[in-house]
Amino acid sequence: MERRQIIRSGFQRHRRKSQLWLILAVCFLSGCGASTTSSSGSGDRTSTDEGGRIDVVATTGMVADLVRHVGGDRVNVKQIMGSGVDPHLYKATRDDVQKIMQADLVFYSGLMLEGKMADVFVKIARSKPVYAVTELIPEEQLVEPDGAQGHLDPHVWMDVAAWSKCIDVVENALSDHAPQLASEFQIRAAEYRTQLEKLHEYGQKSIATIPESSRILITSHDAFNYFGRAYSLEVVGVQGLSTESEAGLQRINELVDLIVDRKVKAVFVESSVSRKNIMALVEGAQSKGHSVEIGGELYSDAMGPDGSYEGTYIGMLDHNITTVTEALGGTVPEGGFQNQQGSGE
């Protein structure tokens, strides 16, 4: 109960107006008696699918990847938002609501990343366990950028060390649901923490090879603040924290001047955001006699394609770290962190 109260209090700080039709859909499905518990009557708290696994719904790929690592073959994870989907703008469908209502556990990122779904999760949390994976990160470790109007930056996964704290939420939730499997979840969580520690060290060592004057990262929107803090980069986004914000001509001109004055070598597009603003920067700098390249495509709010290395959290961050390091003049091992990266874009 204490954890659920934490979830609700977090929502109260960050909630927005919901879409009325979606709330009505949740109420309708609840009224139809959708079952969320085991029908065995044995008193076992574990509710599973036909394969004997815990049925979990996760919003983004980063959250789903956390659950898969900790849960292993004990969980069946249904991911709502796929590759290239922008969670800031995502509107849940009726099918999404049905998946959520039928799941045993629901995990989302939190901090208003899934802003248009916030009130849906509040509603569902009254009848089933719903967890924001970022809920145990100390507030002093979260970023509140200038001009964010009191909203905390939700892009925590860009700092591997900070994101690794989310493992605790998943481990605790799965263990609470299936206590007989707690030792297994604990082992898998510990193994994953070790992998992320090594990835974090790779990021620190790689970015440190970039000449200090070139450590400036310019991207489509303000998704890399945690990345910059963790790996000592100056970060500039064309748009704000959410892709709902629009970049005006004045902002574009300011960044063009910055690129020219600082002789920035490369700027970066994002897989889930339109590249038009970045192309405007390239063209603007060129009109002033400075050539700046597209350093590559980074993964910001969504991971790579399903089944690919970049479609995992480790692969996503490996790609970002390796791509940024190479484009800005640093050096990385051939193949990146796990020898699965190409030579960069």
pLDDT at residue number 81: 94
Give 193: exposed, middle or buried? Use CB within 10 Å, 0-12, 13-18, 19+.
Answer: middle
Task: Kindly report, residue by residue over 84-122, the tens digit of the pLDDT.
Answer: 888 988 988 889 989 999 999 999 999 999 988 877 888
- pLDDT at 242 > cutoff 90: no
> Are the beta carbons of 271 and 304 closer than 8 angstroms?
yes
Give kind and range of the element (H or E) at residue 75.
strand 75-79
User: What is the domain partition of the chain in residue ranges?
Assistant: 2-201, 203-327
Task: Kindly report, residue by residue over 315-336, the tens digit of the pLDDT.
Answer: 999 999 999 999 999 999 999 9
Task: Kindly report, residue by residue over 155-170, the tens digit of the pLDDT.
Answer: 999 999 999 999 999 9
Task: Kindly report, residue by residue over 41-86, the tens digit of the pLDDT.
Answer: 333 444 555 558 999 999 999 999 999 999 999 999 999 998 888 8
Q: What is the pTM of this model?
A: 0.82
Architecture of domain 203-327: 3-Layer(aba) Sandwich (3.40)
Sign of the alpha-carbon torsion through 122, 54, 95, 299: positive
- pLDDT at 1 > cutoff 50: no
- pLDDT at 196 > cutoff 60: yes
Distance separating alpha carbons of residues 228 and 53, to the nearest angstrom: 38
Choose the CATH number for 2-201 among 1.10.150.120, 2.60.40.2230, 3.40.50.2300, 3.40.50.1980. Answer: 3.40.50.1980
What is the average pLDDT across 238-247? 60
* pLDDT level of residue 339 (50, 70, 90 thresholds): confident
* pLDDT level of residue 177 (50, 70, 90 thresholds): very high
Least confident of 2-16, 120-134, 139-153, 173-187: 2-16
> Are the beta carbons of 131 and 3 closer than 8 angstroms?
yes
Highest mean pLDDT pick, 110-119, 167-176, 214-223: 167-176
> Are the beta carbons of 63 and 305 closer than 8 angstroms?
no
Give 60: exposed, middle or buried? Use CB within 10 Å, 0-12, 13-18, 19+.
Answer: buried
CATH topology match: 2-201 vs 203-327: yes
* Chain mean pLDDT for the chain: 84
What is the average pLDDT across 293-308? 94
Distance separating alpha carbons of residues 287 and 285, to the nearest angstrom: 5
What is the average pLDDT across 264-281? 91
- pLDDT at 26 > cutoff 60: no
- Report how far apart, in Å, the C-alpha atoms of 163 and of each of 75, 267, 291, 297 are: 21, 25, 36, 22
Task: Kindly report, residue by residue over 112-145, the tens digit of the pLDDT.
Answer: 999 888 778 888 888 899 999 999 999 999 998 7
* pLDDT level of residue 146 (50, 70, 90 thresholds): confident
